[in-house]
Amino acid sequence: MSAPVLIARTGAVGRIRLNRPKALHALTPDMCAAMLTALADWEAQDPPALVLLDHAEGRGFCAGGDIVQASRDAALARAFFHVEYRLNHLLFTYEAPTLAVLDGVVMGGGVGIGLPCRWRIATERTLFAMPETGIGLFTDVGGGWYLSRLPGRLGEYLALTGARLNGAECHALGLATHYVPSAALPALTEALLARPEAAEALLDEAARDPGPAPILDRRAAIDRLFGGPDLESILAALAAEPGEWAAGLVAQLRGKAPLSAKACLRLVREARTRTDFAAEMEVEYRLATRMSALPDFAEGVRALLVDRDNAPLWRPVTPEAVTPAMLDALFAPLPPDEGWTALPGRAGTAPTDR
């Protein structure tokens, strides 16, 4: 049986390939730990000229975390989030150049390992989303940081709705640094393995015009409709907006976990003021620790991934029933011996290109 993540050094390139094609390369705690160990060892012993992160086969880069088991065991969930967030932070602060090939499905945990990389390739097969409000969680793995730095109110829109972006849209919003047709990836990979020191020039040479980004056509409406002070006002603005698009968004948002939606909205808005990625991960771990132990998480996973009836019963049922005190309790600091910590000795300040 092949390993779920293939890790190797090819000359001066550190190669990490996700290898669970039947699960769209969803991450497990062991996969995160293996990547974390390899990256830390390379950096300490023999820094690579380039770290290349992609998937071995199949149609997804990474569909997220493999969370079904975690939804049944709060202690397991906490351990999973802790090692996963350490990996996210290590990639964000990694000294060697990193490149993620975001070819195919990029959701949840895939965002967490792809977006910290210095270079990020989108293709015509890229499908990006942070759909956590549909499973009783929130936009974690650094999602608060990345979404909050998108222009206007796009962060609120993507966090609340879980809307999907294609490769051209990811490139237009800066989530991807380059757009490369998937057919060109094998040749580009061979060139990168042979000349990792020329990675940026090779990427620029392989990049193509992705074409129009439909999300930009909605930008003005998104900014206007998702700028309200709370979830209730956003829903009211959408309900008052004529047209099928806004009506569809109301229906979508009414189906999300109200507590998750309000936590996402607060996270994205507070993250705009943070300047330290480690601080972001610390706050997100508070949320992950607490929300993974609430009934909504188990119910969301049941409804969407286990029974697949798409009929979750959320608690609280409505946005109005989610009080400020409930959110304050989620965001409150954990006891010192229970909080998230980065790997020893790692800084948390954002690189200039993030």
Residue 276 — φ and ψ, nearest 5°? -130, 120
User: Does 248 qualify as catalytic in the annotation?
Assistant: no
Residue 323 — φ and ψ, nearest 5°? -90, 160
Among residues 65, 110, 114, 136, which one is catalytic? 65
Q: What are the tokens at 93?
A: 């602060």
Give DSSP secondary structure letters for 140-160. Answer: TTTHHHHHHTSSTTHHHHHHH
Question: How far is the C-alpha of 216 from the C-alpha of 54, rounded, in Å?
Answer: 28
> Where are the extended beta strands (E) located within the chain?
5-10, 13-18, 50-55, 60-62, 98-102, 105-107, 119-122, 127-129, 165-166, 178-179
Query: How do strand 127-129 and strand 165-166 relate by DSSP bridges?
Result: antiparallel
Question: How far is the C-alpha of 266 from the C-alpha of 18, rounded, in Å?
Answer: 32
Among residues 109, 136, 167, 300, which one is catalytic? 109
User: Does 140 qualify as catalytic in the annotation?
Assistant: yes
Among residues 54, 132, 169, 299, which one is catalytic? 132
Diameter over CA atoms, the chain: 60
Query: How do strand 105-107 and strand 60-62 relate by DSSP bridges?
Result: parallel
Cβ atoms of 31 and 67 closer than 8 Å: no
**DSSP label of 345:** T
Q: What is the 3-class SS of 40-62, one letter each residue?
A: HHHHHHCCCCEEEEEECCCCEEE
Cβ atoms of 253 and 157 closer than 8 Å: no
User: Does 65 qualify as catalytic in the annotation?
Assistant: yes
Question: How far is the C-alpha of 225 from the C-alpha of 157, rounded, in Å?
Answer: 9
User: Does 200 qualify as catalytic in the annotation?
Assistant: no
Question: How far is the C-alpha of 231 from the C-alpha of 218, rounded, in Å?
Answer: 19
Question: How far is the C-alpha of 167 from the C-alpha of 121, rounded, in Å?
Answer: 9
Q: Return the active site residues.
A: 65, 109, 132, 140
